[in-house]
Chain A
């Protein structure tokens, strides 16, 4: 096999050639600023943004007016968590989240704790699930936001967000989900899940890096959200800054392709994923699956190998691009907080990552 094998799609995906093709004209001839209302260059850019917004909204069952563009999921998570908390500080000061969330949510919550908010970090069971009723029990009259991810980036475990969404809506508490790994991979519908806010990003679904979105449910009264970025008042004043038109066009096309291919691709990948697990578990002793086998992303497999040291394993696996945690966590060289939360001992959760020298795509 020529070149390294890339099995780290949860870290990032290559841009699909169809996506790149859609983007290129918006760097060249259609380079206009979508906010330029006075001339054709601006209109052309605005048209493209409108189309992409509809494509992205369609992927998650939203209305295009409910999509706000950001620089990526980290910003979307920050905007949702900090934006709601800061806008609602008069109504309450309590947030509920889960220990296995992405650092973009956890670190936003830590920041809010410094500002005086209180945060409940719910634990998960050995399979990686949070108990929806635990969310109900954790709620107080001061609770203003619940944030639970749709799919975990490390284990692929799908949280029962529809159940949690129902509990949140019954209680009248806003519900945010980090849907970065779920959107475009498994059916994810904002109405079915009863979410008020959802973070998504292009580069996990074969779109470009540097462009994400926050779904903000339209209702009366509007969901209170304090902006993080102030300036030109773009994106309904929620997120100022000149729109990344080529990125948005690519995100839209990526979302369109993901929606069209979701079910066939999910079936193909779960078959390949299970084939990998079958090979490992039937040939090697002392291997274990981390996280639920029942309810997880079709393309994700998290495995512990007994009797081998992490660093030595990764060195031996030169030519195989895999990770044992979130890529951004790998840089910190700490044990995975997600595996620890599942009760996987520290030694098992040691993070290591191999970077391939070059990647070949067909």
Chain B
């Protein structure tokens, strides 16, 4: 069983382009890091 995670992003009146770019960069970094460091049993 490969684990998966779901996230809801909901933007609003005070959301800026800079925040979206920072959020995207953070997500890409964290997801990449977790996939590289995931225990082998998660991928059987």
Contacts and interface: CB of A to CB of B under 8 A. Distances in A.
Contact of A303 (B9, B13, B16): B9
A283 B2 CA distance: 20
B28 A308 contact: no
A7 to B, nearest CB: 5
A317 to B, nearest CB: 6
Interface in B27-44: 27-28, 30-35, 38, 42-43
Nearest to A311: B5
A339 B4 CA distance: 13
A317 B30 contact: yes
A206 interface: yes
A265 to B, nearest CB: 7
Interface string A312-355: 11101101101111000000000010010000110111101000
Contact of B15 (A269, A306, A308): A269
A301 B9 contact: yes
A302 B10 CA distance: 8
A7 B15 contact: yes
Size category of the A interface is 35 or more
B6 A350 contact: yes
Nearest to B32: A284
Contact of B23 (A5, A323, A361, A362): A5
Interface stretch (A9-17, A60-68, A71-79, A215-223): A9-17
B20 A362 contact: no
B6 A303 contact: yes
Nearest to A360: B14
Contacts of A304: 4-6
Contact of A1 (B6, B19, B27, B32): B19
Interface in A1-25: 1, 5-11, 13-14, 16
Contacts of B20: 272, 275-276, 279
B4 A307 contact: yes
Given A5-B19, A269-B15, A349 B6 contact: yes
Nearest to B33: A316
A324 B14 CA distance: 21
A313 B28 contact: no
Nearest to B39: A309
Given A284-B28, A313-B34, A320-B26, A269 B11 contact: yes
Nearest to B30: A316
Contacts of A308: 3-5, 31, 34-35, 38
Contacts of B42: 307, 309
Contacts of B7: 302-303, 305, 313, 322-324
Q: Which of A10, A305, A336 has the most CB of B within 10 A?
A: A305
8 contacts: A5-B19, A300-B11, A306-B2, A307-B35, A308-B35, A313-B34, A322-B8, A348-B4
